[in-house]
Amino acid sequence: MTAIPSTTVANVRDLGGTPLPGGRSVRPGLVLRSGQLDRLDLSADAAFAGLGVRTVLDFRTDAERADHPDRVPEGVRVLVGDVLADKVTSGEMPAAAQLKHLLADPAVAERELGGGRAERLFEQTYRSFVSSGSGQAAYRTLLTELADPEAGPLLFHCTAGKDRTGWAATVVLALLGADDETLMAEYLSVNPAVRQAFAPMIEGFTASGGNPEIALALIGVVPSYLGAALDEVATRYGSMEKYVREGLGVSDEAVEAIRARLSG
């Protein structure tokens, strides 16, 4: 995977170049991931402009989109796949959707997230990516679009581009045949970019007495988060193939189209 040196969008990465079995790799320039696009400025961001994005899939909640609406180039098709909609409807606001709020008050963060609770909450949220109806609908949309040659280049994103987006990248790469080691390495590779993007917030949080371990649990990604989602797939479906076909309802034809388009 290749990091894109965007100056106005955090954590932009091209899944292209990710190694696959048999000496193959993901074709570059077709499927991209990032953080939110609320500060996108094509006139000042030649790297992003050069991607030629045609479709954007936004995994954020209604509240996140309202607070920080994407700035999307003219002519780009925008789709919404609210991964966490079911959790929000049930009265729960997952930590993945309120990073800034939680880092604004060290006392609240310690009360709600200290003692390993942050990690456990994220693991539960990752399991919901797999099991919830809204998560399944969002990731079904992603794969359906990737099967359509007219949709690319396609960029998918959430707020920081690490959790909902990280699981999306894992599903795509697993479907293309990437091994477990590659999936985990790709998932964890976003940590430096995410921590850089949130550095001022982390520094403010810790300067106010916040626990740095909580900050890192919120801002970064760790193996146990992805492991929870993968375990949910194994428990419910037995394999990623069955999750995609039975859980997400993606047809065999679409799966083969994705592999033909993205694997070279």
pTM of the predicted structure, to 2 decimals: 0.93
- Residues contacting 69, CB < 8 A, separation 6+: 38
Query: How far is Cα 151 from Cα 77, in angstroms, rounded to an integer?
Result: 9
What is the DSSP secondary structure assignment for residue 263, as one 8-state letter? B
Write down the pLDDT at residue 196. 86
Write down the pLDDT at residue 152. 82
Q: Which percentage of the chain shows pLDDT scores above 70?
A: 96
Looking at the DSSP assignment, which residues form a beta bridge with residue 263? 26
Domains present along the chain, CATH in parentheses: 2-262 (3.90.190.10)
pLDDT digits (tens, 9 = 90+) for 11-48: 999 999 999 999 999 999 999 999 999 999 999 999 99
pLDDT digits (tens, 9 = 90+) for 79-100: 999 999 998 876 565 665 566 7
Pairing assessment for the beta strands 2-3 and 55-58 based on DSSP bridges? unpaired
Query: How far is Cα 255 from Cα 67, in angstroms, rounded to an integer?
Result: 35
Query: How far is Cα 49 from Cα 73, in angstroms, rounded to an integer?
Result: 9
Q: Please provide the average confidence, as pLDDT, over all residues in the chain.
A: 92
- The strands making up 154-157's β-sheet, listed across from edge to edge, are 2-3, 13-14, 31-34, 154-157, 55-58, 77-80
One-letter amino acid for residue 61 of the chain: T
One-letter amino acid for residue 137 of the chain: A
pLDDT digits (tens, 9 = 90+) for 214-247: 888 888 899 999 999 999 999 999 999 999 999 9
pLDDT band at 69 (very low <50, low <70, confident <90, very high): very high
Write down the pLDDT at residue 151. 87
Q: What is the DSSP string of 18-71?
A: -B-GGG-BBPTTSEEEES--TT--GGG-HHHHTT---EEEE---HHHHHHS---
Pairing assessment for the beta strands 77-80 and 2-3 based on DSSP bridges? unpaired
